[in-house]
Structure 1
Amino acid sequence: MKKLKVHYFQHIAGEGFGSCFEHLKAMDAEITATEFFALPTDSQLDIEALPHVNEVDLLIIMGGEMSVNDEANYPWLKVEKRWIRRYLAQEKPAIGLCLGGQLIANALGANVRRNPIQELGWTLVNKSDYVPDEYFQLPNEFKVMQWHSETFDIPKGAIRLAENQVCPNQLYQIGKNVLGFQFHPEITPHSLKIFIEHEENDMVFSETHLQSLNTLKTSQKSDYLCGNELLNNAIDYVLRT
C-alpha cells in the first residue's frame, strides 16, 4: 500500500509539526518539511529546490511571525506562494494554519491585511450560518488559540466556515480539499511556550483584545483538546477527496 506523503512548510524554528504529528504517524505517513526559517533573509530560493507537487499527498502550512506581504524582507515568500499555486492547481489536499491560511488565500489572489484588533489567547469562535452539509462541519461554538495581527479575505470560490466578532474570517474552505484557518488548532504546550518566548522578546502585540502571557502560561491540558481534535478531523476530511 502506498504511503501517505505529508509535507509541511515551517516558518518558526523549534515549532515542529504541532498536535497532528501523532495522528499522521498513526496513518503511517511519511512526513517531510521545508524549513523556511533556516534560509537567510536575502536567500534567492529556487522553486525546484522544493518537493515536486506530485511527491506530496497532503500539504500543511504552519504559522509564522512574518507578514505574507513582506516579500522585500523574506524573498522566499514569492517562491512559496508560487509553489502553493502549483500544488492547488492539481486540487490536492492542503491545510493552512494562521500564516498558512493567509498564504493560501494570498497565493490565490485574496488580500491579507491588518485586522482592526489583534487577537492573542484562548477565544471563542462560532460556526458560520448556512454552511452546506457537505462542507467541513464544526461545533456551533468552540475555544481555540489565536495569535495574529493580520487576517485574510476569503479567496474567490471559497466559503467561510467560522467567525467571531473580533475577526470575521476565521476559517474558509475551497472545494473539498483545502481548509484555511486563522487560528491555531495545532497548538501544543511546547509550541505555546515558543510563542510566549517570542512575544516576551519582541513585544509585537500592544492592543486590547489580549490575554496576558502569565495567564497563558497556566493553560490547562483541556484547553488544547478542542482545537487539536478539530485539526485531526480536518486532516481526515481533506484526505477523503
Structure 2
Amino acid sequence: MHTYFLQQAEGLGPARFADWLDSMGHSHNTCHLYADETPPRLEDCDGLILLDADLAVDDTASQPWLGREKKLLARALKSGKPVLGVGLGARLIAESLGAIVSRGTSSTLGWQHITLAPESPFDLPETFEAFSWHRDIVGLPDDALPLGGSAASPQQGFAWDWGRVVALQCHLEATEESLSALLTHLAARKNGAPALAGPHVQAPEAILADARRLDRQAALLDRLLVQWLRSVAR
C-alpha cells in the first residue's frame, strides 16, 4: 500500500503515522501543501492521511491550496480508498461529508481522558488518555459512528463508510519530537496571535512530563490503524 500524507503546516508532519507504515512494510510520500506543492493524483496512491494545522476549514482565501485539497478529498471519499484525517484533516473530512464545523468557546491543548461512545466502532479501550490540540468542534456526519468524547470536546472523532474513512480530533500519532515541534510552532505563530489559555490548556512542561503516555498512545494507534486498513480489505 502506498499512502500520501497531506501536510498543511511546516513542522507538523506525519510523526508516528509514518513509523507505523514503515513497520508494516507500506510506502509513503508527503505532499507539503503549505509550501504550495501540487497535491498528488488520486491514481498515484492507495490512501490519504490529512494532517493538522492551525487553520480553519474555510481559510481558502489566505491559503489557496486548501481549495485544491478539498477537491482531492471529495474525490477520495467517493473512491473507495482509505482516508484518515487528524485535527484539521478530520475537520475537512467532516465538512466534506456535510457536517457542521464551528469555532468552540475555548482551546484544547494537552492530555485528555476520552470515553468511548457506546456505539463506537473503534477497537479502543472504554476510556483512554490522548493528546488533543484544537479549538474548532465538529458535528457528526450522516451515517457516521462516533469515537467518543472528553470533558473538553464531546466529539473526538468518527468513522464513516464501515471504517474506511476515519476522522480524529485527538493525536494518537504524537511523539516526543512531534509534540516539541508543535509547541515550537505555537510559540512562533505569526500575526501576533495570542497564547493559548483556558481550563483545557496545559503548560508545555506538563505536556512533556511523562513519556509513558506516548508509549500507551502508540499501542492504541497500532490497533486503530490495523482496523482502518482492514476495513478496505474485507
The TM-score normalised by the length of structure 2 is 0.90
Runs of 5+ consecutive residues of structure 1 not aligned to the other structure: 40-44
What is the DSSP-based 3-state SS (H/G/I as helix, E as strand, rest coil) of the residue aligned with 2:107? Answer: strand
- Percent identity between the two aligned chains: 27
What is the DSSP-based 3-state SS (H/G/I as helix, E as strand, rest coil) of the residue aligned with 1:138? Answer: coil
1:42 alignment counterpart:
none
Alpha-carbon distance in 2 for matches of 1:235, 1:32: 17
Deviation at 1:209, TM superposition (A): 1.7
Runs of 5+ consecutive residues of structure 2 not aligned to the other structure: none
Contact 1:58–1:92, Cα closer than 8 Å, also in 2: yes
Which residue, out of 185, 200, 206, partners 2:172?
185
Letter of the 1:194 counterpart: A
2:62 alignment counterpart:
73
Alpha-carbon distance in 1 for matches of 2:82, 2:5: 12
Contact 1:69–1:112, Cα closer than 8 Å, also in 2: no
Which residue, out of 156, 163, 170, partners 1:170?
156
> Is 1:206 equivalent to 2:183 in the alignment?
no
2:183 alignment counterpart:
196
> Is 1:57 equivalent to 2:54 in the alignment?
no
- How many residues end up aligned between the 2 structures? 226
> Is 1:109 equivalent to 2:98 in the alignment?
yes
> Is 1:16 equivalent to 2:2 in the alignment?
no
> Is 1:7 equivalent to 2:4 in the alignment?
yes
Deviation at 1:225, TM superposition (A): 2.1
Alpha-carbon distance in 2 for matches of 1:81, 1:62: 13
| Counterparts of residues 129-168 of structure 1 (less than 5 Å) | 129-131=118-120, 135-168=121-154
Contact 1:20–1:232, Cα closer than 8 Å, also in 2: no
Letter of the 1:163 counterpart: G
1:124 alignment counterpart:
113
Letter of the 1:80 counterpart: E
| Counterparts of residues 20-99 of structure 1 (less than 5 Å) | 20-39=17-36, 49-99=38-88
> Is 1:223 equivalent to 2:223 in the alignment?
no
What is the DSSP-based 3-state SS (H/G/I as helix, E as strand, rest coil) of the residue aligned with 1:109? Answer: coil
Deviation at 1:204, TM superposition (A): 4.2
